[in-house]
A and B are shown apart, each in its own frame.
Chain A
Amino acid sequence: MLSNHKYIAFETIVIKEVRRFTRIWLQTLVPPAITISLYFVIFGNLVGRRIGDMGGFNYMEFIIPGLIMMAVIQNSYSNVVSSFFSHKFQRSVEELLVSPVPNVIILSGFVVGGMVRGLLVGGIVTVMSLFFIDLEIQHPLVTLSVVLLTALVFSLAGFINALFANSFDDISIIPTFVLTPLIYLGGVFYSSSLLPEFWRSVSALNPIFYMVNTFRYGFLGVSDVPVVGAFVILLGFAVVLFSACLLLLNRGTGLRS
């Protein structure tokens, strides 16, 4: 395929993906906004006042970066997993498979679609948080790159989930039993300095812990983890997952009988 043809194919997939989640905005954009504002009100405002400071900041300031990150993770993942699985389920994925679109373009198209939704919801949550506090961003470049990488990693993870999924159950098992616990234990609501030694080292095995902390560093300038190390881990995840997706696509896993 010529490179301008590839670009058209890529653009086609991305536009289709963005259209899909904006068409069903009531299911895709509104619920995360509502959930996160409930967190703001309950944890930030009501309970937060009693908690006092966390990691040297008031509790609201402390949790907002984590909540934004939570929205990005959940939405990039669920966009790719539900969109790609529904293509499989309705067999419309065959439209792509019979066409000359290279696998790397198929993957990139869906992943960028997921990233756009993740970042859009992240943006909505960020704007809503401005009603509660004045956000200041200490390191904009760190903030931006960590949120992009996170959206990329979870879009890729969603893609793998969709490839292996055979039923609608299969696309909710991982988010419920793996993703949600990892997010809640990933330091969104507390500083790891509160944890006993043992649980602190367990947290160090959780990739989301690094994402949340690095993102928080971007906003507040403090982090429980070394920022450079966190980037290395994130990049490593992105590379490994991207290669895995490509390998599975080339093999036709879950797609070609």
Chain B
Amino acid sequence: MRTSLKPTQLFAAACLAAGVLASGCQGNRSEAPPVHIWHNMDFQNKLDPQEEYDFFFAIDCPEEAAKIAELKAKAVAHGHNPDHLPLPEKTCRGRAMRNAPAGTVARGHLKNDDHLYKGRGPDGRLVDELPKGIVLSEELLNRGEERYNIYCQPCHDYAGTGQGIATRRGGGFAVQPANFHEDKFRAMPLGHFYDVIVNGKGTMLPYAAQIVSVEDRWAIAAWVRTLQQSRTTVAMGGK
């Protein structure tokens, strides 16, 4: 019997060990995309929401598309193949999701109830009551509290004094969020809070895209009013 390994055997063993080591363990962090061992039908000719889609490049990125077209035209003029051009890296992508064509309204999205959708009455002034169909109830307030704590609390804080956690970091906000307990805001009609959510106000950007449900917006408005009233009661009780 031999007792020591031959160089070739040693080499093979070392290769195996190196291979095992280099391939790492399960769960290792890596920037390399997941390996698809069997490709099967993992990637099909369909598009998910928010995916990029080159087909609409010319529509979504007119400037870059024009630049590329110009380069290609030049190449053709010089007798080169335009498909073999080294093109500049794209900084803009075409999108799979499309907007509705201008001037069209999807079914059920006419939104012609100004009270419900704009917080305004027939005279165009902000209303001070909930729209028909949305009733003040414990459920509505619970929903309002939950949604307020998600979307408004980071800036306006849980109590509505405008000192939310996001405003106290990284050098602080350039403009302090409103303190709902100021007299100015207490005098505001309910519709004002709805209106601020939808259209923003001053440096506060609109939240209509983030809070899509109209009911949720009214629930938040009702909760803001509840916060205001809770302070009022405490102050009066203390006097």
Bound pair (A, B)? no
Residues on B lying within 8 angstroms of A by beta carbon are: none
Residues on A lying within 8 angstroms of B by beta carbon are: none
